[in-house]
Amino acid sequence: MFFLVCFVLFIFFFLDIHISSYYSYVSGYMNHSGRFFIVKEKIIIKHALKKFDETVIIPDLSLDISEGEFFTLLGPSGCGKTTLLRMIAGFNTIEGGDFFFNDKRINDIDPAKRNIGMVFQNYAIFPHLSVRKNVEFGLKNRKLQREEITARATKYLKLMQIEQLANRMPAQLSGGQQQRVALARALCIEPHVLLMDEPLSNPDAKLRIEMRTVIKNIQRRVGITTVYVTHDQEEAMAISDRIAVMKDGVIQHIGTPQSIYQRPSNIFVSTFIGRSNIFEDASLIVEGKDSFINIGSYRVKMDNIQEDYRKNQSIIASVRPEELIMRREAGTGIKAIIDDCVFLGLNTHYFMHTEDGKEVESIQESTIDSTIAPGTEILLTLNTEKINLFTADGSANILKGVRNDCVTD
C-alpha cells in the first residue's frame, strides 16, 4: 500500500512538472514571439430591434462581423451606433432579433458572462488604483491565482508599452497613457470580443492620430474581433477593416474604407464620408450605346453606367474636390470664378462659384511659386473614372463597381 501511494504521488508530481513546463513554454512563446492566442468570435446579428418606450431607435438591423475583424460603426450623433454596441455588450435591452457569438445566442446571457472587453469614451480608469492594479482589476474579479494575475498583467503592460508606469496613479498620466491603461485592462482578461465606444474623442488632434495607430497595431497583433464606434470619418478610414455607415438606425453601406469612399451606395454615404460637391441638376442622356451626363452646358461621356440605369433621367452628380479638375486654357467645362485659395503644403484648396452661383471646392497639387489668384475665371472638368452618380432621389449609385456587404435576408 505504501508503494502504491508513493507511485500515485510520483505520477501527480510528474504531471504537475510537465504541465507547468508546458504552460511556461507557451507563455514564453507568446512573450518572445509577440503572438497572443485569444479566441476569436464571429458576431452575427439578425433583425435587431431597439425601442425606448415607443420611440424606435433601430428598426430592423442584420449584420455579420468576421472573426478577428476590426469593424467600425460610423455615423452622425443619434444614428444608433452606440445603442447597437451596448446591445452587443448586454448593457441595453433587446426588444427583438437575435445576437450570436459564433453559434451561441447571447440575448439572455449576463454581460459579465459574455467575455467581452470594453473601452469607454472617458477611459473609466479607477483614480484610487495604480496602473498595475487598474489592469489587474478584471482578473481579480475572476479569482485567478496571484501568479497568473501578475504574469498576465505584466504581459499586457509590456504590450501597451506602459510597464514603466505600473506603479503610477492615473492623475500622474497623460491622456495617451490613460488610454493605453484602459486598453490594457480591457485586453488583460483575454476577451473573445473587444468593444470600443468613441475612445478617441480627446480634443488633442495629435493624441488622436497617435492612439489610432496604437489601437490598430495592437488589434492586428492580438487578432481579437473588435467593434469600434465613432463619428469621425477619417478615424474610421484609418483603422478599420470594414465600416458600417449608419443613419437613423439603418445601415446604409458596409464595406472597406476604399470601397465606401470610392463607390458609396447612396448620396448620404457620399456626403458623410469625406467632402463632395453635389450637382443636383445633372442629367443622364443615352444615345445608342453611349451614355453622357450633362451639368449645365457641360457634357461628358460616361462608360461605367449600370445597364439597369441606362435611360434618360435626372440624376445627382457627386464630385469630390480632388475629382474636380481646373483648367485655364480654352475648351469645354463648367465655368467658374475663384473666390479664395488656401495653401496647405502638398495641396492647395480652391473655393469657387460657378456661373449659376453654386459654390464648389477643388483640391490641386501645389506647384512651385504658383497659385491661381482670386477673381480668375477658369473651366472645371470631371475625372469621370472617380465621380459618382446617383438616382434623382439619391437612394442608389448608378455606376458599376459598388460593393455593399449589407445583410438583406
Contact 187, 156 (CB under 8 A): yes
The tens digit of pLDDT for each residue in 151-168 reads 999 999 999 999 999 999
Q: Collect all residues with Cβ–Cβ distance below 8 Å to 34 and sequence separation of at least 6.
A: 221
Q: Please provide residue 192's backbone torsions phi and psi, each rounded to the nearest 5 degrees.
A: -85, -25
Grid cell for residue 235: 478615424
Q: Residue 405 CA to chain centroid, in angstroms? A: 15
The residue to which cell 492623475 is assigned: 171
Lowest average pLDDT, out of 30-39, 54-63, 131-140, 387-396, goes to 30-39
Lowest average pLDDT, out of 22-36, 92-106, 389-403, goes to 22-36
Task: Assess whether pLDDT exceeds 90 at residue 140.
Answer: no
Mean pLDDT calculated for residue range 44-56: 96
- pLDDT-derived band at 37 (thresholds 50, 70, 90) equals low
Share of the chain above pLDDT 90, in %: 78
Task: Assess whether pLDDT exceeds 50 at residue 26.
Answer: no
> Is 283 or 25 the better-scoring residue by pLDDT?
283
| 283, HSE (Cβ side, Cα atoms, 13 Å) | 9
Task: Assess whether pLDDT exceeds 70 at residue 33.
Answer: no
The tens digit of pLDDT for each residue in 196-233 reads 999 987 767 888 888 899 999 999 999 999 999 999 99
Measured between alpha carbons, how far is residue 203 from residues 3, 72, 119, 175, 176 in Å?
Answer: 72, 20, 18, 10, 12
Average confidence score pLDDT of the chain: 89
The tens digit of pLDDT for each residue in 250-280 reads 999 999 999 999 999 999 999 999 999 999 9
Task: Assess whether pLDDT exceeds 90 at residue 30.
Answer: no
